[in-house]
Structure 1
Amino acid sequence: MNGVELFLLGRTLMKIGEAAMPEPEGGSSQYAGNTRAVLIVASDVAAHPDSAVGEIATRTGLPQSQVSTSVARLKEAGAVVTAPDPADRRRLLVRQAPRLSARVSEIRATTIEDALTTALDENTPEARKEVLAALEVLARHLSPQTLARPRP
């Protein structure tokens, strides 16, 4: 596998993950928009607690306005909390919420089986089992914190 193949696989996995997520109750949010950006921001916040929006934007490559909107969506869902930066009260620091909200619990409790079944070219119980096992191995070795580790 080369970098391009890995990148394309990652995009496919993100789309399957997006398809697996339940819609918010009521069908929409006042922050309707890019789920992918919200997930990227949530992953970055998990790996880098107490980060300012600008720092998240720099690390993720997302525009600061998109990070701000994503933080607002995550805050509305109860996934993150914000607090003023003690060193610069104009900045807000973002971190994961200490307790899971009902929405975050709902999302985490949702399985990927239906989305995976739809996505698989070879939709057999054996293929689903093989792919799920491979995803579990990847998840065990490649967490959101993987990218936060210092590199030699």
Structure 2
Amino acid sequence: MNGVDLFLLGRTLMKIGEEALPTENLQAQPGSVRTVLIVVSDVRTHPGSAIGEIAARTGLPQSAVSGAVARLREAGAIVTAPDPRDRRRLLIEPAPEISHRVAEVRSAPIEDALAKVLDTTDPSRIAEVHALLEQLANHLTPQVLARLRE
């Protein structure tokens, strides 16, 4: 595997993840799921950040981060508070308790999406790939990305 193969694998995994996420009661907005997930990952890795800091780290436009923060706050995934040093800025933290919507999204099964992309209904094949993905996820958590930036 080389860097291009790894990049393409990552893109494929993102698309499978998007397919597996429940989208009931959500407005269809191109790229919005991906943006929200990038912001969630950044907030979990860097709690207490301001919108501008998240935008700088993720490379997303500040307006996209603001929109994602609003959606995440509404879903109960994050909480915001004014920055005590600059009341114009909001500091963003993961919510202390998991909301119903966040629990629903986190518990969404991936088997149907895997069956679709693998073009199989064989439960043992789906379980094999699922187990491999879990093993990979245990090694490559969102927190390890900080090492790439060092």
TM-score by length of 2: 0.91
Distance in 2 (alpha carbons) for counterparts of 1:88 and 1:9 = 42
Secondary structure of the residue that 1:5 maps to in structure 2? helix
2:4 maps to what in 1?
4
Distance in 1 (alpha carbons) for counterparts of 2:105 and 2:5 = 28
Match of 2:41 among 38, 43, 50: 43
* 1:1-152 map, 5 Å: 1-24=1-24, 27-29=25-27, 32-33=29-30, 34-121=32-119, 123-149=121-147
Deviations 1:39-80 (A, max 9, x none): 000001010000011110111111110010011111111000
Give the count of matched residue pairs.
149
Question: How far does residue 125 in structure 1 lie from its aligned partner after superposition?
Answer: 2.8
Question: How far does residue 149 in structure 1 lie from its aligned partner after superposition?
Answer: 4.4
Q: Kindly, what percent of the aligned residue pairs are identical?
A: 63
Distance in 2 (alpha carbons) for counterparts of 1:93 and 1:20 = 30
**AA partner of residue 41 (structure 2):** S
Q: Whose helix proportion is higher, 1 or 2? A: 2
Distance in 2 (alpha carbons) for counterparts of 1:35 and 1:28 = 10
Paired residues of 1:82 and 1:95 also in contact (CA < 8 A)? yes
Q: Which structure 2 residue ranges, 5 or more long, are not aligned? A: none
Deviations 1:89-124 (A, max 9, x none): 111011100001110011112110111111114553
Distance 1:150 1:58, change over 3 A: same
Q: Which structure 1 residue ranges, 5 or more long, are not aligned? A: none
Question: How far does residue 141 in structure 1 lie from its aligned partner after superposition?
Answer: 0.9
Paired residues of 1:48 and 1:148 also in contact (CA < 8 A)? no
What is the alpha-carbon root mean square deviation over aligned residues? 1.8
Stretches of 4+ moved more than 4 A in 1? Answer: 149-152
Distance in 1 (alpha carbons) for counterparts of 2:82 and 2:57 = 20
